[in-house]
Chains A and B, each alone.
Chain A
Amino acid sequence: MTHTLHRLGNSESLRHDIVFTYMPSNNINHVGSAPKLRKFLEICRDLGAIKIGDTRKGNEYVQGSLENMLNNIEDRAVVEAVFDNEIKAINALKAIKEADLGLSLVVSGLFEQTRECCRKAGLNMHTVNQSLGIWGRTDKLPEKRGILELNTMCGHGMVSVSFIEYAVKKIKTGKWTPEKAAENLFKCCVCGIVNTTRAVEILKELSEEKG
């Protein structure tokens, strides 16, 4: 019940973080779903998604290229597209609705923004998954909010705290640009759902902090 659920961030930052997840359901509509999943990714790519990914076989880096990723999609894959722009996301929603591919679409983002996007695309909110925060030994977590925000962009926790700190150090010493650092964080997230636009902004903030 997770993946894109527990992304931390303030509302202004999250406004630029809209993720689509598209998948078939086992024994209901999964047979022959691979071309539909591919079509979904192509629609999103063409309409301005900043990243697309495949949870089953891995992102473009895991598979060697974007083309490999598209060619290797299987019937039971779960695929994703990341948008940093509401207008582009709405246009993609309209196109996906129009394509009528028949698989299940989940939109992750601010609920009020999702509601507005759906309204403009002629869709309805069917089921929601709400995040009720982190419970237990929160005292053991990093104090810097930006590190948690970057870590939770990967629902599987593959963007490690030490790699985020390593990337910040590289930016501070001028060895990596924030953009390169964000792309390297994206590589770790095998599903391909790290929002590199948001990551750049958070990395800039972290690299400007002292210590």
Chain B
Amino acid sequence: MLINSELCIGCEKCNPYCPVGAIYTDASEKVSKIDLTECVECGSCLRQANCPVDAIYQQELVWPRTIRSIMSDPLTITEESGIAGRGTEEMKTNDVTGRFRNGYVGVGIEMGRPILGAYMSDVEKVTKAVAAYGVVFEPCNPLTTLMSDQTSGKFQNELLGEKVLSTIIEFTVPINRISGIIKILKDVSKQIDTVFSLGFISKLDSDEMFPLNHILDEFGINYAPNGKTNVGLGRPLFKEKGELV
């Protein structure tokens, strides 16, 4: 995103809308400017600030900068998932897709969230760490398609300097391998210069017991009292082998 300095009147109306603080006031010119290194192309300033002189404009984005918009602008519809935003249908439609089955855990590592954003070089540290453990990344996730080698979690070098507001590393592992993932994440979280929010997905049994809590307790991981629950209203309902209709 850019601000036309010829038009800008320096009202600073747009400055607070930026989620990564990339809009600043140039003291000598008395106009607002955007630090393109920090800007994640989320479109918030253009949508929300109602610039009185229409000085904010979207420049043509060229590769690799385009990934900033794909990962950061909620209204960008990605080719891989077909839905708006940087994620996938994940557990939201698990009642009809059966993507997450009994005995498996879906892992979502949302790099850069909250607030800080993430450089792809930090994202790669995490993808490489979990790839070394043999995970298979979710193919519908746009981040996966950016990898030059999905078995190693490596991205093309030209992407590593790009910054995104957030991006989600997604994969599924058998429940007996989740302890190994937790250990890896504890370790790699000390090597990055940003944050990630971590989420686990699991299917509940007929008693509605949460299958992961005892493992999380074992590692001393605090899990939030709130989260997302698919309540099984989708049709046709996916049935695992052996499940009663």
Contacts and interface: CB of A to CB of B under 8 A. Distances in A.
B87 A3 contact: yes
A4 interface: yes
A174 B82 CA distance: 44
Contacts, number: 289
A106 B231 contact: yes
Contact of B204 (A8, A127, A134, A160): A127
Interface stretch (B10-18, B27-35, B52-60, B155-163): B10-18
Contacts of B151: none
Contacts of A157: 19, 113-115, 165-166
Nearest to B235: A102
B234 interface: yes
A131 interface: yes
Interface in A1-25: 1-9, 11, 14, 17, 21, 23-25
Interface stretch (A41-49, A136-144, A203-211): A136-144
**What class of interface size applies to chain A in its complex with B?**
35 or more
Given A111-B226, A111-B227, A127-B230, A132 B221 contact: yes
Contact of A1 (B199, B233, B234): B199
A162 B89 CA distance: 31
**Residue among B82, B94, B194, B228 with the highest chain A CB neighbour number at 10 A:** B228
A158 B116 CA distance: 12
B197 A160 contact: no
B83 A125 contact: no
A162 B18 contact: yes
A56 B199 contact: no
Interface stretch (A64-72, A175-183, A184-192): A184-192
Q: Which 4 A/B pairs are nearest by Cβ-Cβ distance? A: A1-B108, A126-B232, A104-B234, A25-B93
Interface of A: 1-9, 11, 14, 17, 21, 23-26, 28-29, 55-58, 62, 76, 78, 93, 96-97, 101-112, 114-115, 118, 123-138, 140-142, 148, 151-152, 156-163, 165-166, 187-188, 190-191
Given A3-B228, A23-B92, 19 more contacts: A1-B106, A23-B93, A25-B89, A28-B96, A104-B93, A124-B232, A127-B95, A127-B230, A134-B196, A134-B197, A135-B185, A136-B195, A137-B194, A138-B195, A142-B115, A156-B85, A162-B15, A165-B16, A187-B48
